[in-house]
Structure 1
Amino acid sequence: MLQLKDLPDAKVLKKFAERYEDVDSLSVTHFLNILRIGTELAESLDRFLATHGLLQGRWWVLVLLMREDDLTSTPSELADKAGVSRATMSGLINGLLRDGLVARQEDNKDRRSYSIRLTAAGQDKLDEVMPDYYPRVKKMMSAIPEPQREELLKQLLLLKEQSKVFD
């Protein structure tokens, strides 16, 4: 995915406004900044996880499995919960299987079906990452006082609802 680092300035937005109707330069500026901040947060998380030998997608699969009472889920359920395609989830699972962080469990009733289970090594990896992750999240979020965080979240959820205009 292309990640725009060079956001347009007022001069560039003016050029677009002269060519296209309905350009609200301030709305465009705010929208692009919000997208850029989201990208930077994701990149920061990626850099952190890399120090633990993980990629974000693989980490999320481990977290999703740990959330389950029996540490087990099907690939299709994991794909739905992670918001990725089944093909993407297959790739993530294959890497985790190769590294021994998850195991494949055959379904005794249907040989075509199987589940994915978090292994002891996968749990150990989470036990390595999570105590390092939580204080960092706390520190980052402390930049915004809690009442303002609640308001920010409400505003971002409103934007999320409006994002359907691109569908």
Structure 2
Amino acid sequence: MLELKDLPTTGVLQKFAERYPDADITAVSSFLHLLRVATDLSIALDACLSKHGLLQGRWWVLILLMREETQTSTPSVLADKAGVSRATMTGLIDGLEQSGLVERVYSKNDRRSVSIHLTTAGQAKLDVVMPDYYHRLRLCMQGLGEAQREQMHQMLDLINLGIPELTK
């Protein structure tokens, strides 16, 4: 992933706006700042999780399984919920299975039908990771009060509504 470390100044954006009249300087600046912070958050989350031998993909699979009442789901449902391809999910499951954190459970009636189950070791891993994650997340977000967090949610929801405009 490319990380734009040097965000453009207002002066640079003004030059672009002179050349490209559709450029809304504050919209561009806000968008790039949000993208920069999102990238930094993702990198920081990977650093936090790597202390526990995980990266985001595998961690999210464990979380998705823990959220299920039976701690079991199918690979296709996990892929849909994680927003990845089925092939990517297969790779994530393979790694987690090799680590003993999940297990494949085959249907007795149809060996082609498989479910993924969070193992005791997988739950134990989460029981170590999650308190550290929540502690670090609280520290990361401590600069925002409850009202500011609610405002942030509302603003992010509005931005989310505009995302389809980027894909047209």
TM-score range, shorter chain: over 0.9
Runs of 4+, deviation exceeding 3 Å? none
The code of the aligned residue for 1:90 comes to T
User: Post-superposition shift, 1:13?
Assistant: 1.8
Higher mean alpha-carbon deviation, 17-26 vs 48-57, is at: 17-26
| Counterpart Cα distance in 2 of 1:150 and 1:84 | 29
1:135 counterpart residue number: 135
Q: Aligned ranges for residues 16-55 of structure 1 at < 5 Å?
A: 16-55=16-55
Letter in 1 for 2:35: L
How well do the aligned residues superpose, as a CA RMSD in angstroms?
A: 1.2
Please show how residues 84-99 of structure 1 align to structure 2 within 5 Å.
84-99=84-99
C-alpha separation in 2, matches of 1:21 and 1:88: 41
Calculate the TM-score normalised by the size of structure 2: 0.94
Aligned twin of 2:126: 126
Aligned residues: 167
Quote the Cα distance in structure 2 between the aligned partners of 1:117 and 1:106: 10
Deviations 1:122-163 (A, max 9, x none): 111101111111122222222101011101110111000111
Q: Which moved more, 1:92-101 or 1:18-27?
A: 18-27
- Read off the aligned partner of 1:118 and give its amino acid letter: L
Q: Give deviations 1:17-60, integer Å, cap 9, x for gaps.
A: 23222111121011100111111111111100000110111001
In the other structure, the counterpart of 2:152 is 152
% of aligned pairs identical?
Answer: 58
TM-score of the aligned structures, taking structure 1 as reference length:
0.95
